[in-house]
Amino acid sequence: MLFLRFEDVGNKSRVYYCLVNQLPLINVSTSSNPVPYIVEESIGYLLGRARAQLAKSLDDALTSHGITHAQGGILLMLMSGHFDTAAQLARELYIDAAAMTRMVDRLVKRALVIRLPGGADRRTLLLQLTTEGSVLAQQLPGIYLAARERNFAGLSEEEMGFLRSLLRRVLLNGEVAESSK
Taking only the tens place, the pLDDT of each residue in 118-170 is 877 778 899 999 999 999 999 999 999 999 999 999 999 999 999 999 999 99
Are residues 86 and 34 located together in one domain of the fold?
no
Total domains, the chain:
2
User: First-to-last CA distance in the chain?
Assistant: 42
What would the mean pLDDT of 78-105 be, rounded to a whole number? Answer: 94
What would the mean pLDDT of 76-88 be, rounded to a whole number? Answer: 95
Q: How far is CA 88 from the centre of its chain?
A: 17
Residue 69 lies in a domain: yes
Are residues 67 and 134 located together in one domain of the fold?
yes
Q: Specify the length of the chain in residues.
A: 181
pLDDT surpasses 50 at 5: no
The structure's pTM equals 0.75
pLDDT surpasses 60 at 117: yes
**Residue 33's pLDDT is what?**
59
Residue-range definition of the domain harbouring residue 84 = 62-144
**Residue 15's pLDDT is what?**
42
Residue 136 lies in a domain: yes
Decide: residue 62, CB within 10 A, 0-12 exposed, 13-18 middle, 19+ buried: buried
Are residues 72 and 32 located together in one domain of the fold?
no
Are residues 71 and 128 located together in one domain of the fold?
yes
Q: How much is the mean pLDDT over the chain?
A: 84
d(CA 86, CA 39): 35
**What is the 8-class DSSP label of residue 39?**
G
pLDDT surpasses 70 at 14: no
d(CA 180, CA 115): 35
